[in-house]
Structures are given as structure tokens and as C-alpha cells.
A and B are shown apart, each in its own frame.
Chain A
Amino acid sequence: MLRIEGLRRSFGGVAALEELDLAVADGEVMGLIGPNGSGKTTLFNVITGVHQADTGRVLLREEEITRSTPARIVRQGIARTFQNLRIFQRMSVRENVWVAQHSLPGVGPMALMSNRSAAERARKAEVDRLLDAVGLADRRNVLAGSLPLPDQRRLELARALVRSPALLLLDEPAGGMTPAETAEMAALIRDFAVPGRTCIVIEHKLDLISTLCQRLCVLNFGRKIADGEPGRVLEHPEVLEAYLGRDAVNA
């Protein structure tokens, strides 16, 4: 599904990603962890075209998307959520999900102006179905900015799913949540978001990772230091070192 080759990106001389190679198979759910500043979110930003790669390639279904614009990449089937929540605060919850449909194939110039056709009604029904699934149906007419944090994360999830993306990128979907809320979120992602698609999850919370992922990849200083089955990766000495901060040379 997704293949990354020799990806490199630096900001003002500081390398955020260095020679990163990564391949994610169809239907795979991969966890991505690593200390702060290890390049996880930068990787998402490069995949989605927010940042340009300095060198290297990103391929989606063997098609290169490295130099594409964010809009085109989204239309090719990648959707994401954000670590620092990004929602349209001045729109209602329902509108926040509805807006993600604007660029779906089939939404032509007519559909941009009128919302009376049968196809439009079906699309609206899809929005409501998703809001129901993430548990926001009863608050769909509330201004999105007034939701509490866990609900804003759920809203981002619904917005990402409304396009039925082939590849879903979740950036700390349980960030700032209590363990109870995290468990709920993990169940929601496992039962609703993941089936039928490929998914990469950035998350520090092992409970969530172990609920969701068959595979875990660890970044440190923009490099992949471990990759494999979660239980084994977490025992990997280099991973512990990354978190412990022991100098690898002296270990």
C-alpha cells in the first residue's frame, strides 16, 4: 500500500527524518512510536504533502506521490488526524464531517451549489451514520469548537473516515485522554475505523497500540531503530535505550 524509500527532511539544518525506509502492506495496522522530536509527525506531514521531502520517495499503491500537493494526495485515498487537533471551530460538528466530502469524486459543480439531489441526500446520510458511530450524533448541531477534547478527537476521526480512505494516518488519537477514554477510543478505532483499510497510528499509549497493531515501528532521531511484532519490539534493547536515553555507543 505505502512504500517509503530513503526519505530525508531537515528543518534549518536539523534532520527530522534521515534515510527512512518503510513499507506498509495492504490491510496492515502499524503503530509508530518514538521519543518527542523523533520525526513521527514529520513523517505524516511528508506523506500528506504538508512538507516536501528533501530527498527520497513516497509511493502509494506503487504510484509516486512525493511531489504532489496535499489536496491531490488526499484525493488519492489518504486521510489523517492531527496531534494538535485541527477542526473548523466556527462550524457545527455535522458540517465538520460534511466538508470532507466536497472533493469526493462525483461531487461536481452542480453538487457544490445545490444540496437537493438524491446523491447529496445519500452523502448527508453517510455523515450522520459516521457521527452516530463515533458517538456524536446527539451533538451534531453544536459548534465544533465547544466540544471537549476527547470528542474533538472523535470528530477528527469521523471526518477522516467520511472519505473512506485506503490509508488512514492517526496522530495520537488518544492524546490527552484518560485511560478510560483511551480504552474507548481504542475500541472505536479497532471495531470501526480499521476494518478494511491500512492504518498507521502514532501513539505512546501501549494499551492502544497493543489493542490495534500487529506491527510496531520505532523512530529515533529520524531513523527507524526497530520494526516488527509489538511485544518483541518493546523488548528490543535499542528501543529501551531510546526511551532511557542511554548513549548507544556506551551501551
Chain B
Amino acid sequence: MLEIDGIAAAYGNIEALRGVDLLVEEGGITCLLGPNGAGKTTLMMTIAGILKPRRGTISFLDRNITGMTPSGVVRRGIALVPENRLVFPDMNVHENLVAGAYLRLGKRKSQVQQDIDHVFERFPRLQERSKQMAGTLSGGEQQMLAVARALMARPKLLMMDEPSLGLAPLVVEEIFRIISDLNADGTTIFLVEQNAHMALQVADHFFLLEQGQVTFSGKPGQLSEHEVIQRAYLGKGPQRNQPAADQGRPDRTTLPSG
């Protein structure tokens, strides 16, 4: 569905992505794990059209979307739940949801109202707070609102950047339940997560991103959870017995492929 081929991106002279190859299959949950500063959010921004890549191509449903404007990307059917949620704090919940359907507001207003009803069915807590300012919601509620708002774009692919960041464990479980439900109802999901345990439970496929490169691609279970955590968060290189010079660029082809 989403094919990323050799994407490189940089902030000034600090290179954040050094040739990322990645594939998101339709209908599944694909997960991207990696340590801080590995380039996960940069990749999301590049897909969403906020950041222009220096090299490489991104294609979605077999059409090239590299360098497209953010609104073009949304129009093609990719919605993003951004890191730190970024709800509109001085708008109420209902208005936030309407904003999520912005591109459809011109023509299909009744459809938007229907969608809001659907979203409220899925998130009854949001319906209760429909007139409340988004800035006054709790962290978990804001996260739900961010997800609901992204759904209002009727995305074919939903990208989520660290939806569990800063949330209490019980809330995290609820968020992941929602992710599974959404996927069961047919939304393809591309998830960036720090919570490896939860992510590996729901994912069909996952990638490890280290220093701007994909260093592992496979299904949960192909790598022990322990090793995933060691590599993704505690930065243990994959081939510790190799000479130091090789460790910077692990050979992707020797890793199990998806």
C-alpha cells in the first residue's frame, strides 16, 4: 500500500534519514520501532509532506506521492495522528472533529455529520464532552480526540506517531484496544511506538529504525521481545561480535525479510 524507497532527509547538515526502505501492507498493522533520534518522526513528517526528502520515492497505492503537499497527501487517503496529539486547544471537541473532515466540508456536509455520529459511537467519552474545549481534556482523552479527528478524514491509511507517549498504563491499553478495533474494521495502520511490548502484540509486521536506516524487518516473534527492546531502546547494536567499523551500517540483506 505504502512503499518507501531509499528516502533520505536532513535538517540542515544533520542527516536524519539515510536511505530508508519500508513497505506497509494493506489491511494490517505495521509498526516502526527505534531509539530516540533514529528518525521515526522525521519519516512520518516526510510521508505527510511536511518535509521534502533529499532522495528517494514514496508511493501510495501505486502512485508516486513524493514531495506532494500535505493537503495532497491527506486527499490521497493518508491521515496522521501526530506526536503529542496537537489537538486545537481552544476549539471544542465537535469543532476539532469537523476540522478533521476539512477537505470534505465543501461538498458533503451531511456525510460529515454521519461520520461524527460514527466516531462518537466508537468514542462515547468524546460525545459526553462534545462541547468541552479540547485543551481542557485529559491526556488520554486528547489522544482519543486526535485519533478520532484523523478518522474524520476517512483515511485509507492511518499513521500514528507515539500514541502512548506520556499516558498512564491503563490508558495505553485502551488506546491499543482502539487501534486493534480500527484495524479489524478495515483501516490500515502504520504505527510509530516506543511501547514495544504493546506494539508487538498488535503488529502484523514491524521494522527497526536505527540511525536513520532500517536495520530489521520482520514479524513479531522473529526477534525476541527482549532483543527488540535492547536494540530499539537501549541501543545495543545487532552484531556485537563484528568489528566496530561495520557496526554503523548493518547489512540489511542478512536479516530475515518480511
The interface of chain A, by Cβ under 8 A from chain B, is 14, 33, 35-37, 83, 145-149, 172, 174-183, 203-208, 221, 240, 243-249
Contact = CB atoms under 8 A, between A and B. Distances in A.
Interface string B123-164: 000000000000000010000000000000000000000101
Contact of A204 (B35, B162, B172, B225): B35
A42 to B, nearest CB: 12
Contacts of B164: 245
Contacts of A180: 244-245, 247-248
A94 B144 CA distance: 49
A214 B169 CA distance: 30
B234 A205 contact: yes
A182 B234 CA distance: 12
Contacts of B247: 178-180
* Top 7 A-B residue pairs of the complex, sorted by shortest distance between their CB atoms: A205-B235, A178-B248, A244-B197, A179-B247, A245-B195, A176-B37, A179-B237
B169 A207 contact: no
Nearest to A150: B14
Given A145-B12, A245-B164, A245-B197, A207 B37 contact: no
Given A36-B162, A172-B36, A180-B244, A244 B237 contact: no
Given A178-B211, A178-B248, A146 B13 contact: yes
Interface string B72-92: 000000000000000000000
12 contacts: A146-B13, A148-B13, A149-B14, A172-B37, A176-B38, A177-B211, A178-B248, A180-B245, A204-B235, A208-B235, A245-B195, A245-B198
A244 B225 contact: yes
B194 A35 contact: yes
B15 to A, nearest CB: 8
Contacts of B237: 179, 207
Contacts of B225: 244
A36 B163 CA distance: 12
Nearest to A34: B233
Given A14-B139, A176-B211, A179-B248, A247 B169 contact: yes
Nearest to B12: A145
Contacts of A182: 235
B2 interface: no
Interface string B170-212: 1011000000000000000000001111100000000000010
